[in-house]
Amino acid sequence: MKLGLLTPLFAIAAPFLVWPIEYYLPYPFVVEEIVKGLLVLLILKDHFSKSKSITLAVIAGALFAFSESVFYLINIFSTGNGNALFLRILLTTPLHIITTLIIMLFGLKKRSYIVFGVIVSGIVHYIFNLLVA
C-alpha cells in the first residue's frame, strides 16, 4: 500500500496533534502550513499522477479543515456561540484547501519547492487571519 493514500487519515488527525504545539507556539499560520507541507510531501513521495496528487491534496485540505472545526466545536460549547462555528466552517474550509493546493503546486514543479509553497501558503493564511479575526 502506498503511504500517500493514508494522507487523508493523517490530515484528520493533524489538528489534534498540532494543538499542543500551537498552544506554546501560537502561530497557526506557520505550524499548520508546515504540517500541510508534510502531508503534500507524503503524497508526492508515492509518485502519483498529477491529477491524483491534486485530488489527494484537496481531500487532505478539506479533511484538515473538517477536523479542525470538530476540535473548534468542542471549544464552542464553552462559549455558546454556534454562529461562529458555521462561519468558521464556511470560511476556513476553502482556506485550508487553497493553502494545501498552493503547497502541492509548488511541490509538483520540484519537491524542494515545497518550502516556498509553505511560505506562500503561510502568508495567505496570515492575511486570512488578519482579515477574518
Tell me 5's DSSP state. Answer: G
CA separation for the pair 76, 97 (Å, rounded): 23
Sign of the torsion angle spanned by Cα atoms 44, 48, 54, 60: negative
Report the C-alpha dihedral over residues 4, 9, 13, 18, rounded to 10 degrees: 10
Assigned C-alpha cell, 40: 503534500
- pTM summary value: 0.90
pLDDT in tens, 1-37: 677 788 988 999 998 888 889 889 889 899 999 999 9
Q: What share of the chain is helix, strand, coil (3-state, %, to 5)?
A: 90, 0, 10
pLDDT at 108 over 80: yes
Contact criterion met (CB below 8 Å) for 42 and 97: no
Tell me what pLDDT residue 119 has. Answer: 98
**CA-CA-CA-CA torsion for 46, 50, 51, 54, nearest 10 degrees?**
70
